[in-house]
Structure 1
Amino acid sequence: MLDVPLDSWYAWFGLSLASLALVGAVAGLPTTPPPNATDAAETVDRVAAAEYDATAEHPLDAASVRLGTRRISLRNDAGTAHATFGFGPVTPVPTGDSPLRAVLHGAPPERVFESKAAFQQAIVDARVESDTATWRDVDRTLIVRRTSWEGVDVVLVDA
């Protein structure tokens, strides 16, 4: 017979080490799934494709977000996910006190900006700033708003 007798100390020692290795491998697995960037991008696309002014919110399952004019990236403990917008470019709202933030949250652009040119310049500046976008913490849902003023159409996005 070629079987190892289970009353041998080295057999029990080997089984103990194998059990510890298995527990260590299971403990190293992430407890949450990676964030779903595709659903967030689809929410942005639905608003961007609308013919009229529209607003949408999408809950994010991420700890950090990076918004660009053509893509969104989400990150949490389980990994990072990226998705590209089908309609674009969109305008990520800059962090801090920006007049575009008031427009994103429902204020008409004509009440926030002095002229159509000032509105256009704020959009251009926000898009240029998003070229060097860094990761920022997510403290709420993704908010998307499509609005227009005197022929200037824009899709504003913030998280």
Structure 2
Amino acid sequence: MPDLPIDAWYCWVGLAAASLAVAGVAVELPTRPAPDAAAAADTVDAVAAASYPTTAEHPVDASAVRLDPHRLSLRNAGGTTHATFGFGPVVPVAADSRLQRVATGDPPSSVFDSPVAFARAVEQARERTESRDATWRQAPARIRITRVHWEGTNVTLVDA
């Protein structure tokens, strides 16, 4: 059986090519795990299922977030994960809106003139997020979830 001599040039070229292929695969492997969208959705569900007003925060290790009334997606260098809410729909709040002020702790009575105005703002936010596809946006360090009850309007606000 003929053996290849170790000093043959084509052996070294083949070994170099194989090494480059292995190095290329190793460089492309993610350096961190994908974010945990399921854990964040579980926190949202825990607040949404509460029968009393409550607030929770969930830290996220993501660079981007996509939120709609029924699901949450998180993305970072490690990949993208998705989770569906079991207790929904929730109301994603827009940045710098009056609903965001409520989601971050202001009582609805100090932000809105009446319970009717609050209910109208909630309905408009739901319609806005239902009528368009959710877009990716920069993720905050933590997601804030607030369950609010005010004069017949029971809603879960999600600030992400």
Which TM-score applies when normalising by structure 1? 0.94
Distance 1:143 1:28 in 2: 33
For 1:114, the equivalent position in structure 2 comes to 113
Distance 2:112 2:89 in 1: 21
Instruction: Return the offset for 1:130.
Output: 1.5
For 2:26, the equivalent position in structure 1 comes to 26
Match status 1:60 vs 2:60: yes
The 10-residue stretch of structure 1 (20-29 or 124-133) with the greater mean CA deviation from structure 2:
124-133
Q: Report SS of the residue matched to 2:135.
A: coil
For 2:50, the equivalent position in structure 1 comes to 50
Counterpart contact for 1:47–1:56, Cα < 8 Å = yes
1:7-26 matches, within 5 Å, as 7-26=7-26
Runs of 4+ displaced beyond 6 Å: none
Instruction: Return the offset for 1:94.
Output: 1.2
Q: Report SS of the residue matched to 2:86.
A: coil
Counterpart contact for 1:34–1:76, Cα < 8 Å = yes
Counterpart contact for 1:94–1:129, Cα < 8 Å = no
Instruction: Return the offset for 1:79.
Output: 2.1
Q: Which runs of 5+ in 2 are unaligned?
A: none
Distance 1:40 1:139 in 2: 13
Percent identity for Structure 1 against Structure 2: 54
Distance 1:59 1:141 in 2: 4
Q: AA paired with 1:99?
A: R
Q: AA paired with 1:138?
A: A
Which TM-score applies when normalising by structure 2? 0.93
Counterpart contact for 1:103–1:112, Cα < 8 Å = yes
How many residues get paired? 158
For 2:159, the equivalent position in structure 1 comes to 158
Counterpart contact for 2:98–2:111, Cα < 8 Å = yes
Match status 1:102 vs 2:135: no
For 1:130, the equivalent position in structure 2 comes to 129
State the Cα deviation string for residues 81-134 of structure 1 (Å, max 9, x = none): 111000011110012x21111111111111111111100111011112223221
Q: AA paired with 2:142?
A: T
Q: AA paired with 2:122?
A: I
Match status 1:38 vs 2:38: yes
Please give the root-mean-square deviation of Cα atoms over the aligned residues, in Å.
1.2
Match status 1:72 vs 2:90: no
Counterpart contact for 2:56–2:144, Cα < 8 Å = yes
